[in-house]
Amino acid sequence: IKIVLEEALENALNGGSTGAYPYAAGLRYDVDAREEMGNRISGLEINIRLAEASWDAIDAEMSYTVVTTDFLARGQDGYFEFGQVDEALVVNTFTEYSQPFIDYTTIQEGTLVNPPLDEFSTQSFVPAEADEEVVDETSSAGKSPISLFCITTTLLAAFAI
């Protein structure tokens, strides 16, 4: 998972699509764009159930199920590692990319709101040209989340990685 995030970040920072920036539900991490590729993502944690407030470090020996678009699952937009996953592990649900978002908003009562700051995927971000980390003292745990409200809108391919 860290390799996928590093590759996508590399693509987003170096002239690839801005859509490549890795946002995720159930993952959170810190980004330091001053570092070399492979060392930019740190503090990587996963919350498998999201409904519970339990964040744990990624276990390199464990398998995780990842849900993404079929476009990214094929290794596009800088997500090269996804393209290396054995086809036997890939399940295409053939769900129209916007349908899960429509379904989610349909069942919600009231107004959609931003998730808590500690659930944002990017917990802090240091730009490549920064001298030091920019921290927003008003945010959760003194970290500056760099994210917009983002709901996973596509469930086209799921696989274990």
User: Cα dist. 52→59, 139, 161 in Å?
Assistant: 18, 21, 23
Structure-block tokens of residue 5: 């995030």
Which amino acid, 59?
A: D
DSSP state of 136: -
Which amino acid, 107?
A: I
pLDDT in the model for residue 123: 94
For 94-139, how does the pLDDT look when each residue is reduced to its tens digit (9 = 90+)? 888 788 888 888 888 888 888 888 889 999 999 988 765 554 433 4
pLDDT in the model for residue 151: 32
Residues lower than pLDDT 70 in the chain? 18, 51, 131-161
pLDDT in the model for residue 138: 39
pLDDT in the model for residue 132: 59
pLDDT in the model for residue 92: 86
Structure-block tokens of residue 2: 């860290």
Residue of 148, 125, 157 whose CA lies nearest to 9: 125
User: Cα dist. 88→36, 72, 128, 159 in Å?
Assistant: 33, 17, 38, 9
Task: Kindly report the backbone phi and psi dihedral angles of residue 67, in degrees, each rounded to the nearest multiple of 5, phi listed first.
Answer: -115, 130
Cβ-Cβ contacts under 8 Å for 49 (sequence gap 6 or more): none
First to last CA, the chain: 7
